[in-house]
Amino acid sequence: MMKSIQGYNALESNLLFKVCFFDKKKHAAECVLDIEDIGKYIELINKSKLVVFNVKEEDKNVLMNVLSNLTILRKHYSPIVEVGDSKVFFFPQLNYGDIYLLKTLFQQKYVNEAISVNLGTNASVE
């Protein structure tokens, strides 16, 4: 499946970021990944309730493209929440009906941060 993701955009190597996987109410796993390693973790991403990415601001667009393409390949448009300059929250189990609730919850939690909720490449709630 990673070859399909790479087919959508040119991935740059050496884009390292910290990833935390959450399952139901617990912290399932934590690791530091290169952007090209996401393909190895697709099954874990799909099974997780929440995946949190800590990424440099200049690398966030590449990560957003990869996650958007992953939702397209899965044919399940899961919410992707951008918070501030360095955090991206991905909810693989949720769908488009949850975006306004997520937007409200994140606005309450991160009062002074810019928040954007995305579904794939075309739909977003600012």
- DSSP string spanning 25-45? TEEEEEEEEEGGGGGGGHHHH
Q: What is the pLDDT, as a whole number, of residue 81?
A: 92
- Mean pLDDT of successive 10-residue stretches along the chain, which has 126 residues: 39 72 82 83 88 89 86 84 91 87 91 85 59
Instruction: Identify the pLDDT of residue 41.
Output: 85
- CATH code for the domain of 32: 3.30.1710
pLDDT at 70: 83
Q: Does the pTM of the predicted model rise above 0.85? A: no
DSSP 113: S
pLDDT of residue 91: 92
Q: What total of structural domains would you count in the chain?
A: 1
pLDDT reported for residue 14: 63
Residue 74: CB atoms within 10 A of its CB come to: 14
Q: Which of 111, 117, 64, 61 is nearest to 94 (CA)?
A: 117
Strand order across the beta sheet in which 26-34 lies: 26-34, 16-23, 50-54, 87-90, 80-83, 115-119, 123-125
**Domain coverage including residue 37:** 2-125
Residue 85 is predicted with a pLDDT of 84
